[in-house]
C-alpha cells in the first residue's frame, strides 16, 4: 500500500521565469467531499524535497469547473521523520466532487507550478459521521505481542482490547493502523510514537494499535494484500498509516492519514 500522488500540471505562477518551478505533489490518499485536510509535498524538478518549518506556504484552491470559487489558506509544515522529512498540511473546504486546482506560493519566492487533486464524492475509507466497523481484533490475551505488532517499543495497553470491545464500551477511542517494519511512506513509526505519547495524557480514552498485516511470523510471510488485517479491510484503507478518532457512541469524528498535525487529535478528545 502506498500514499497516492497526482501528476503535476500547469505553468509557473510566481517568481522568475528563468528558474525551474517547484512542484506540488498530493500526499493525501483519500480526499473526498466533506474533508478539509490536504497533505502535499514540495519538490524540485529533479525530485529533491523542499520545504520545512521556515519555508512558509500559502495555498489557493478552486474547482476547475468553478474557478471563481476561490479558497485561500496558509499551510503548516508537519514532520514525518522529525528533522528529516515532512509534508505541508492545509485546510480547504472541499464542498463538491471533481478536479480542484491547487496553486501555492512559497516564502522563498521560488516559482511554483499548480497541481490538481481529484475530490471523490465519498471517501473509500470509513468517513466522518459513519459508525466505525465493529471488527474483532487479536489481543495480548490470546496472541503473543510479537505477532501483534512490528513496533520494537510497543505499549501493551494498546493491545489489551479488541477493536469491537473498545468501540462499544462507552469511551472515546483512538485507533492507529500502522506497520513500522513494512511502511511504504516511513510515516508509520513516527505517527505511532505520537499516539503512544498521547495515550499517557488521556487515561479515559481507548488507544489501540492495529498492525496492517497479520501472520507476521508465519513461514513465507510477505506484506501483501493476502495478509491484510481484517480491520484494515473493514475500514477500506488505501494506504498507511491512518488514525481514526471515534466518539463514545462508536461514530467516527476524525480521520487522519500520513501525518498528524499538532493538536489535531487532542482537539477532538478535549471536545
Question: Hey, is 268 helix, strand or coil?
Answer: helix
* More confident: 14 or 19: 19
The pLDDT of residue 19 is 77
The pLDDT of residue 121 is 96
Q: How far apart are CA 252 and CA 245, in angstroms?
A: 6
The domain limits of the chain are 22-119, 145-270
Tell me the CATH architecture of domain 22-119.
Sandwich (2.60)
The pLDDT of residue 99 is 97
CATH number of 145-270: 3.40.30.10
- pLDDT tens sequence across 208-263: 999 999 999 999 999 999 999 999 999 999 999 999 999 999 999 999 999 999 89
- pLDDT tens sequence across 76-113: 999 998 888 999 999 999 999 999 999 999 999 999 99
Q: Measured at the alpha carbon of residue 133, what is the angle toward residues 174 and 265, in degrees to the nearest 5?
A: 20
Please state whether the predicted TM-score (pTM) of the whole model is above 0.95: no
- Lowest-pLDDT range of 17-26, 132-141, 181-190, 198-207: 17-26
The pLDDT of residue 18 is 60
Would you say residue 15 has pLDDT above 90? no
Neighbouring-strand partners of residue 77: 88
Q: Cell 497516492 maps to which residue?
A: 4
| The domains spanning 22-119 and 145-270 adopt the same CATH topology | no
Amino acid at each position: 500500500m502506498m500514499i497516492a500522488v497526482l501528476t503535476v500540471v500547469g505553468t509557473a505562477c510566481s517568481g522568475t521565469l528563468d528558474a525551474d518551478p517547484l512542484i506540488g505533489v498530493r500526499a493525501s490518499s483519500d480526499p473526498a467531499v466533506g474533508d478539509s485536510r490536504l497533505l502535499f509535498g514540495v519538490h524540485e524538478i529533479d525530485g529533491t524535497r523542499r520545504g520545512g518549518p521556515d519555508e512558509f506556504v500559502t495555498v489557493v484552491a478552486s474547482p476547475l469547473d468553478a474557478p471563481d470559487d476561490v479558497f485561500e489558506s496558509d499551510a503548516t509544515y508537519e514532520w514525518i521523520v522529525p528533522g528529516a522529512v515532512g509534508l505541508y498540511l492545509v485546510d480547504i473546504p472541499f464542498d463538491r466532487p471533481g478536479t480542484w486546482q491547487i496553486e501555492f506560493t512559497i516564502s522563498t519566492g521560488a516559482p511554483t507550478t499548480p497541481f490538481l487533486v481529484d475530490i471523490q464524492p465519498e471517501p473509500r475509507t470509513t468517513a466522518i459521521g459513519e459508525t466505525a466497523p465493529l471488527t474483532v481484533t487479536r489481543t495480548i490475551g490470546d496472541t503473543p505481542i510479537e505477532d501483534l505488532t512490528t513496533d520494537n517499543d510497543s505499549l501493551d495497553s494498546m493491545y489489551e482490547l479488541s477493536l469491537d470491545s473498545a468501540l462499544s464500551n462507552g469511551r472515546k477511542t483512538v485507533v492507529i493502523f500502522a506497520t513500522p517494519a513494512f511502511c511504504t511512506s516511513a510515516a508509520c513509526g513516527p505517527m505511532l510514537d505520537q499516539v503512544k505519547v498521547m495515550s499517557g495524557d488521556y487515561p479515559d480514552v481507548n488507544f489501540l494499535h492495529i498492525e496492517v498485516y497479520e501472520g507476521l511470523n508465519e513461514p513465507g510471510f510477505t506484506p501483501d494484500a493476502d495478509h491484510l488485517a481484517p480491520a484494515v479491510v473493514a475500514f477500506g484503507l488505501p494506504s498507511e498509516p491512518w488514525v481514526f478518532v471515534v466518539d463514545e457512541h462508536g461514530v467516527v469524528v476524525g480521520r487522519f492519514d500520513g501525518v498528524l498535525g499538532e493538536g489535531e487529535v487532542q482537539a477532538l478528545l478535549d471536545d
